[in-house]
């Protein structure tokens, strides 16, 4: 259930914060100005926050949440969990920080970017272009700073919000523009089924006051589910032209993301977005996202590439396409949420170029087992952690090849987020470079 309420509605009431991670902590900062009656609960009993008591869900925490007037839920906790659904049935609104903020902001200034893959790149390019064209712009949401961060400036011209399928269900008030980058299968464990994931992922476009949707026609699955898109739908049909060269992006999929960002800027009313020369100038100075097919270093003729943001199958498949023909050692695996890996398994098992698959905990083991059963061409081995995986991948890849981290899975089992995993990969590569320095 969606609740059209804002932060101001929480003044003086008893509020539960379910989840003590980044968003939960940002919510606590906002709440400190509104109420003193706050309960913090998390499934992890070992989380520690300065000056805050975090109650474990299964040790009385849920009962405390049930005593609250409103519960702010972190996105990682599924809305379909029985305990969360029980709170709603008892009449306690379960909300999210993103939705609370959307209710209070000028939504004509907000552009939500969602989709199975390409969200981060599209949001980053869009934010960069808007800034270069003179608009005071912040890129927020799933990519980094929460929309409800207390430090977010109040005088912005544009707010780009990378929005996950988890966060979408917390939003009751439609943004001015929704950008949809792609559609595939992901987060089945959270949403309960592929169909429900698709419905939830695209639900921002069909809110009662939905206005404008900019969608990627190059995504076949998105075209097939166009019936789920609402508002005035405008399709992006191709790749960015030469203006995008200064962005330094790798692969046609990223050129498609850049073109989508351009059309979103145009839809936002930025007329310069139709001028190739102005776009080329605006594209300069863009820094590609760490963790999205970004170069880390080179040792001899072996290149190391970080694609830690590949938290599902689709971006890893895209990375394989971008690196086709290359001798490749790929580190895959992470939190196992039960997605169907069939397409990725087939792609790796039948890759034409020499390939080594190094399976990381947790899902890497079942990936390697499945690949090994159907191929005699692709090599598979297990890596207990990223550091040993980097060493083994380099030993195999040299003298000429690529070592790629593209996990096709979230990081939760070993890391707090994709960035922490990216940092671990980069640190391991730098350590390897130092050990082999001449």
d(CA 404, CA 406): 6
Residue 137 near residue 89 (C-beta atoms within 8 A): no
The answer, yes or no, to whether residue 144 has pLDDT greater than 80, is: no
Fold of 294-435: 3.90.190
Higher model confidence: residue 418 or residue 13? 13
Residue range 122-133: average pLDDT?
97
Residue 364 near residue 335 (C-beta atoms within 8 A): no
Task: Tell whether the torsion through CA atoms of 407, 348, 391 and 289 is positive or negative.
Answer: negative
**Among residues of the chain, what percentage have pLDDT more than 90?**
75
Range of 248-252, 290-294, 321-325 with top mean pLDDT: 321-325
pLDDT given for residue 258 in this prediction: 97
Residue range 279-284: average pLDDT?
97
Query: Residue 195, Cβ neighbours under 10 Å: how many?
Result: 11
Higher model confidence: residue 250 or residue 25? 25
pLDDT given for residue 417 in this prediction: 86
pLDDT given for residue 188 in this prediction: 81
Residue range 44-59: average pLDDT?
85
Residue 65 near residue 16 (C-beta atoms within 8 A): yes
pLDDT given for residue 316 in this prediction: 93
Residue 323 near residue 404 (C-beta atoms within 8 A): yes
The answer, yes or no, to whether residue 26 has pLDDT greater than 90, is: no
Residue 261 near residue 236 (C-beta atoms within 8 A): no
Q: Identical fold at 7-95 and 102-283?
A: no
The answer, yes or no, to whether residue 298 has pLDDT greater than 90, is: yes
pLDDT given for residue 411 in this prediction: 85
d(CA 150, CA 18): 19
Where does the pLDDT of residue 122 fall: very low under 50, low under 70, confident under 90, or very high at 90 and above?
very high
CA angle (377, 381, 382) in 5-degree steps = 155
Where does the pLDDT of residue 375 fall: very low under 50, low under 70, confident under 90, or very high at 90 and above?
confident
Residue range 51-67: average pLDDT?
91
**CA dist 233 → 168, 205, 267, 269 (Å):** 18, 9, 11, 16
Q: Is the pTM of this model over 0.85?
A: no
The answer, yes or no, to whether residue 185 has pLDDT greater than 80, is: no
Strands 301-306 and 294-299: antiparallel
Sheet holding 232-236, edge to edge: 137-141, 158-162, 110-114, 177-180, 212-216, 232-236
With CA atoms as reference, report the closest residue to 260 among 157, 123, 107. Answer: 123
Among the listed ranges 41-55, 76-90, 108-122, 240-254, which one has the minimum average pLDDT value?
Answer: 41-55
Alpha carbon 11 to chain centroid, angstroms: 31
pLDDT given for residue 231 in this prediction: 92
Supply the angle between the helices 252-267 and 119-132 in degrees, to the nearest 10: 50
**Domain chopping of the chain, boundaries:** 7-95, 102-283, 294-435
Residue range 164-182: average pLDDT?
94
d(CA 17, CA 92): 13
pLDDT given for residue 163 in this prediction: 94
Q: Over the stretch 238-281, which tens digit does the pLDDT of each residue have?
A: 999 999 999 988 778 889 999 999 999 999 999 999 999 999 99
Q: How far apart are the first and last CA of the chain?
A: 61
pLDDT given for residue 314 in this prediction: 83
Among the listed ranges 47-51, 232-236, 369-373, which one has the minimum average pLDDT value?
Answer: 47-51
pLDDT given for residue 419 in this prediction: 87
With CA atoms as reference, report the closest residue to 52 among 41, 67, 68. Answer: 41
pLDDT given for residue 76 in this prediction: 86
Alpha carbon 182 to chain centroid, angstroms: 13
3-state secondary structure of 28: helix
**CA dist 95 → 100, 210, 237, 421 (Å):** 7, 20, 36, 29
Residue range 116-145: average pLDDT?
92
Residue 217 near residue 235 (C-beta atoms within 8 A): yes
Local structure of residue 360 (DSSP, 8 states)? P
Where does the pLDDT of residue 289 fall: very low under 50, low under 70, confident under 90, or very high at 90 and above?
confident
With CA atoms as reference, report the closest residue to 184 among 74, 273, 316. Answer: 316
d(CA 166, CA 76): 7
For the domain spanning 7-95, the CATH number is 3.40.50.720
Query: Residue 134, Cβ neighbours under 10 Å: how many?
Result: 11
Under CATH, to which class is 102-283 assigned? alpha beta
pLDDT given for residue 438 in this prediction: 64
Where does the pLDDT of residue 415 fall: very low under 50, low under 70, confident under 90, or very high at 90 and above?
confident
Higher model confidence: residue 57 or residue 412? 57
Q: Tell me what the pLDDT averaged over the chain comes to.
A: 92
């Amino acid at each position: 259930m969606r609740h059209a309420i804002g932060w101001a509605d929480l003044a003086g009431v008893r509020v539960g914060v379910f989840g003590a991670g980044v968003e939960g902590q940002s919510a606590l900062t906002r709440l400190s100005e509104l109420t003193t009656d706050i309960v913090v609960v998390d499934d992890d009993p070992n989380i520690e926050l300065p000056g805050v008591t975090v109650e474990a869900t299964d040790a009385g925490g849920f009962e405390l949440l049930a005593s609250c007037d409103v519960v702010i839920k972190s996105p990682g906790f599924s809305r379909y969990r029985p305990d969360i659904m029980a709170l709603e049935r008892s009449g306690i609104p379960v909300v999210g920080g993103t939705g609370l903020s959307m209710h209070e902001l000028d939504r004509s200034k907000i552009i939500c970017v969602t989709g199975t893959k390409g969200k981060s790149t599209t949001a980053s390019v869009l934010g960069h272009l808007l800034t270069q064209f003179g608009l005071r712009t912040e890129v927020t949401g799933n990519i980094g700073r929460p929309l409800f961060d207390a430090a977010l400036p109040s005088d912005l011209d544009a707010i780009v919000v990378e929005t996950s399928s988890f966060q979408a269900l917390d939003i009751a008030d439609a943004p001015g523009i929704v950008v949809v980058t792609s559609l595939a299968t992901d987060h089945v464990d959270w949403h309960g089924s592929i169909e429900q994931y698709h419905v939830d992922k695209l639900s921002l476009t069909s809110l009662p006051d939905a206005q404008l949707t900019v969608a990627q026609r190059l995504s076949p699955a998105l075209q097939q589910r166009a019936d789920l898109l609402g508002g005035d739908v405008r399709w992006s049909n191709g790749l960015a032209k030469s203006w995008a060269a200064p962005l330094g992006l790798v692969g046609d999929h990223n050129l498609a993301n850049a073109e989508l960002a351009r059309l979103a800027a145009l839809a936002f009313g930025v007329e310069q977005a139709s001028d190739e020369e102005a776009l080329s100038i605006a594209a300069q100075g863009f820094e590609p996202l760490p963790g999205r097919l970004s170069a880390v270093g080179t040792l001899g003729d072996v290149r190391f590439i970080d694609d830690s943001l590949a938290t599902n199958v689709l971006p890893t498949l895209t990375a394989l396409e971008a690196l086709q023909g290359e001798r490749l050692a790929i580190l895959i695996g992470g939190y196992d949420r039960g997605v169907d890996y069939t397409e990725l398994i087939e792609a790796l098992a039948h890759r034409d170029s020499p390939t080594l698959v190094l399976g990381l905990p947790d899902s890497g083991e079942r990936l390697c087992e499945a690949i090994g059963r159907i191929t005699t061409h692709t090599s598979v081995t297990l890596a207990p952690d990223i550091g040993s995986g980097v060493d083994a991948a380099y030993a195999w890849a040299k003298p000429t090849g690529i070592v790629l981290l593209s996990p096709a899975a979230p990081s939760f089992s070993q890391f707090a987020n994709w960035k922490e995993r990216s940092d671990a990969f980069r640190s391991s590569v730098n350590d390897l470079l130092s050990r082999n320095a001449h």
